[in-house]
Structure 1
Amino acid sequence: MPPKPDITLNLRSTEERQAVLRTQVLMLALSVATALFFFDLLHIRGLIPGVLPFYTLLFGGLGLALYLNQRRKFAASSYVALGTLNVIVFSFSLSLDEVLMLFTPVAVGALVIIPFEYRAARWGFVILSYTLFCISLFGDFELFRVDIDETGESVVFFASGTTAIVCLLVVLQFWIRQTQATEANLQQQRRHLLQLTDDLQKSKERFSLVIKGSGAGIYEWNVKTNTLYLSNEWKQIMGYSSDDLQDFMIEDLTGLMHPDDRPELHRKIEEHFADRKPFQNESRRRHKNGTYRWIYDSGLSTTDENGNIDVVVGSIIDITERKSAELLMHDQNEWLKKTNRDLDQLVHSASHDLRSPLSSVLGLLTISEMAGSKEEIYAYHGMIRDRVRKLDEFVTDVLHYSRNSHREVVKSEVSLAQLAKETVDELKYADSKVAIDISPAVSNDVTIVTDYGRLKTVLGNLIGNSIKYSDPRKDEPFIKLETTLDSNACMIAVHDNGIGIGKEHHEKIFEMFYRATENSSGSGLGLFITKEIVEKLGGTISISSTPRVGTSVWVKLPLA
């Protein structure tokens, strides 16, 4: 890449060339003035006393101009030199017409020796020279009289013409050199500009590749005009074409935000306007198809001369897949934590619930061996049977829990009437101290798409609990199974008039190994497993119960 042209150095070189030209012009003027002075001294008798003040002004002015030029007072040096020369030439031209031609190099010199930035002064001196020329040419007065013969006039004419020609040649040479330097500088600037254009194009292409590779969309918010520029990549991320969103405003962008994410975005923007630090934000924004996408937004701002933010520039990246993965990982971690807690509790309680019936069985066997009659042996065998049944119920519950935790949901079309009949038939011979009226009031045309085995376990647990905790003091104990449908869900309700559950137990009744009464004969896993199954099927479960009145359990499941 060629070096960048040094504009400051170029301007400085122009000043130096002007200073050299100024020195050359002043030295030429001094030389001519000295020659004329001696010429007048030798050939024009009696002229010196009248002309002496003008020569004093001429030598003094030109000397001062040279001094100022050496002190780098370029503008002041030019003004003194041009002022002196205009006065002297005007004074002599009133008496000698041959001197009039000297106004030309003085006027041309004004255009060259005065620094270029003083344009008004340059043209002012040109006008001054022309004005004095006209006054001298058409005026009819003299400041002093010069008696000079024909030879003297020829000498003055020759000196004036030579001086004018030499000055014009010096000025012309300066202009030629200046033009060549300017052309060379322009060529260098042109090459540099072409190189910059090429580098800019390559940089633009690299930037475009980076943007495409990163999948980022660029935006620019003009805070003062409240307008937005959106790149085509930005529009593509949000599902729009390049022709869409032409008059998009910041309020429209806020409208794409998910309502729950707007307060956080506004807070981040306020923080950025306060501390001016780059901001990052993750939020949901509405795609053109109506869905919400997770967007990572980052940006920074520029300020105006007053320190106020005028432009905010940023980029967005679609992180929906990353967020989905994070959410899945979070859910899996929560599931693992819950599973570990449940396993810890299961192992802890299982060690008691398994050992207790086995210990009872061993003890009863030992006692039955010492029994003296068959009646005692039969009684002990009945007790052993109860302990074994309790152990079997516990193992069954553990199996249900394990299957629900590890098996995938297998959905099929399920007839609720058929499922209810099968469940009731399996439980109607369950041990109960009283005869219970079990009536499944389910229409034959009620079907849902769900996991048949899991739903059967739910119904079995609920009806089994109603049988187990029936109230023997009531004359007509009952269990009713009802179903209702709406457009989105199926509600299954199990009602009984059993012993009921106190309100203080309602919130904990679905916890693992929780027993509402000390006299409970269950494992404490039934309702916990029921709730786990219902939630895995995408439903909800709730309970309402009053002691000595009865219990109602509602299970709400999706239709498909």
Structure 2
Amino acid sequence: MNEEIKILYLDDEVNNLVAFKAYFRLDYQIFVAENTNEALKILEEHPDLRIIFTDQRMPDKLGTDFLDEIRVIYPLPVRILLTAYTDDLNTAIDAINKGNVYRYVKKPWSVEAISAVITDANRYYLTNSLLSVKNRELEQAYNELDKFAHSVSHDIRGPLAGIMAAAQLAQDISDLSEIGELLQIIVNSAEKLDRYILTIHDYYSVRRGEFNIMDIDLNTLADDLRVMYEAIANAKGIRFTITINNSDVFRSDEVSVKLVLNNLLSNAFKYQKKDYNYKYVHLEMGVERGVATFVVKDSGIGIPEKYLGEIFKLFFRATLLEAGSGLGLYNVKNILTKLGGQIIVNSVENVGTEFVVAIPTK
């Protein structure tokens, strides 16, 4: 039996229902109903029905009326009309032209005719389902693009405004010490722009989903991260430590893994409490039973509980204390989804945050 293909047959003649189920129950999952109320109940319980056959002349309602009504709530099932009356043919053809009905079959039907209709209807269902998925993906992409354009214009204008204002002030100042301060503003704004552009590059790399699977040595990865974050840790007075519990063979896309860790670590360094004497960022990693686990813990400002379910959404910012692109954690989530991984966040406001990442080896 092909359990994926569910078929509903609606007819007030019990003999037809029994015959239909007897002929096709071994090949498909068959549901039968004697009236439209029973049919609606079956649809509610099985919204993934692929094909609906209905007799035109039902005691409570015409088959075409029933199919027209359910099309709004259940647009995907393929609708087939059955009729034994020649004067119903014009109605059936009109329903087909309006898109309410895919095809009509004359009664009494034959097993061969119904089998051919099921094959065609299932092919039509699969095509429409794929089209529906693509339309949803297109709508999501359009919405993301709209948000992206708005966010980019907003986030780029901020640093640019800082650069322009500082440059204009510098034109009217002769004091070298004041000019030095303005130059520092320009440098800071330019660095912010550079970080934002790099984040956008990461965003599009994730969208393309191009992976290069290779062996990843955790010890080498740890050394690279120590070098990368040593300067910022010293400058901010943050104790940065890395421990490796188990270094079994781990295969994945190295660039993607580094993007994930760099996003989490950069946030851990960025969102520290200003006047706290025991600042730390700790990375713990290991590979066991084919799964690499990375835990990033910090003593930072934490994330308010009400935002924990929102932080992986596109352009979401949980804090205004530090400017961010709103792309970082969104990128992290997308990368992990494509790698078959998972991420869990635990955070207490004004205490710190812990991200736990699990990535299966390829």
TM-score after normalising by structure 2? 0.67
**Counterpart contact for 1:541–1:556, Cα < 8 Å:** yes
Query: How far off its partner does 1:434 sit?
Result: 2.6
Query: How far off its partner does 1:471 sit?
Result: 2.2
Match in the other structure for 1:536: 338
**How many angstroms apart in 2 are the aligned matches of 1:445 and 1:377?**
52
**How many angstroms apart in 2 are the aligned matches of 1:541 and 1:463?**
14
**How many angstroms apart in 2 are the aligned matches of 1:329 and 1:500?**
43
Match in the other structure for 1:449: 251
Match in the other structure for 2:176: 374
**How many angstroms apart in 2 are the aligned matches of 1:385 and 1:526?**
22
Which of 206, 212, 217 matches 1:415?
Answer: 217
Flag the structure with higher strand content: 2
Match in the other structure for 1:483: 285
What do the CA deviations read for 1:290-329 (whole angstroms, capped 9, x no partner)? xxxxx98979799xxxxxxxx9965343877766655544
- Equivalent positions of 1:45-194 (< 5 A) are none
Q: Report whether the alignment pairs 1:552 with 2:362.
A: no
Which of 324, 345, 349 matches 1:522?
Answer: 324
**Counterpart contact for 2:54–2:82, Cα < 8 Å:** no
Specify the code of the residue in structure 2 equivalent to 1:450. S
Specify the code of the residue in structure 1 equivalent to 2:202. H
Flag the structure with higher helix content: 1
Which of 175, 179, 190 matches 1:388?
Answer: 190
Match in the other structure for 2:8: none
What do the CA deviations read for 1:51-70 (whole angstroms, capped 9, x no partner)? xxxxxxxxxxxxxxxxxxxx
Which of 125, 147, 162 matches 1:360?
Answer: 162
**How many angstroms apart in 2 are the aligned matches of 1:224 and 1:373?**
97
Q: Report whether the alignment pairs 1:264 with 2:28.
A: no
Query: How far off its partner does 1:478 sit?
Result: 1.7
Specify the code of the residue in structure 2 equivalent to 1:511. K
Q: How many pairs are equivalent?
A: 300
Q: Report whether the alignment pairs 1:506 with 2:308.
A: yes
Higher relative contact order structure (alpha carbons within 8 Å, sequence separation ≥ 6) = 2
Q: 1:528 to 1:222 in 2, by over 3 A?
A: closer
- Equivalent positions of 1:275-424 (< 5 A) are 275=58, 314-315=114-115, 316-317=118-119, 326-424=128-226
**How many angstroms apart in 2 are the aligned matches of 1:473 and 1:318?**
70
**How many angstroms apart in 2 are the aligned matches of 1:222 and 1:387?**
76
**How many angstroms apart in 2 are the aligned matches of 1:475 and 1:278?**
76
Q: 1:275 to 1:388 in 2, by over 3 A?
A: same
Query: How far off its partner does 1:261 sit?
Result: 9.1
Q: 1:353 to 1:431 in 2, by over 3 A?
A: farther
**How many angstroms apart in 2 are the aligned matches of 1:332 and 1:487?**
36
Q: 1:385 to 1:226 in 2, by over 3 A?
A: closer
Query: How far off its partner does 1:555 sit?
Result: 2.3
**How many angstroms apart in 1 are the aligned matches of 2:192 and 2:157?**
12
Specify the code of the residue in structure 2 equivalent to 1:520. E
Specify the code of the residue in structure 2 equivalent to 1:505. Y
Q: Aligned-residue CA RMSD in angstroms?
A: 4.3
Query: How far off its partner does 1:490 sit?
Result: 3.6
Query: How far off its partner does 1:461 sit?
Result: 0.6
Match in the other structure for 1:439: 241
**How many angstroms apart in 2 are the aligned matches of 1:222 and 1:399?**
62
Specify the code of the residue in structure 1 equivalent to 2:317. R
Query: How far off its partner does 1:278 sit?
Result: 8.1
Name which one, 1 or 2, has greater alpha-carbon Rg: 1
What do the CA deviations read for 1:137-177 (whole angstroms, capped 9, x no partner)? xxxxxxxxxxxxxxxxxxxxxxxxxxxxxxxxxxxxxxxxx
TM-score after normalising by structure 1? 0.45
User: Unpaired runs of 5+ in structure 1?
Assistant: 1-220, 239-249, 252-259, 282-294, 303-310
Query: How far off its partner does 1:438 sit?
Result: 2.1
Match in the other structure for 2:6: none
User: Unpaired runs of 5+ in structure 2?
Assistant: 1-14, 32-41, 68-76, 85-108
**Counterpart contact for 2:78–2:125, Cα < 8 Å:** no
**Counterpart contact for 1:432–1:468, Cα < 8 Å:** no
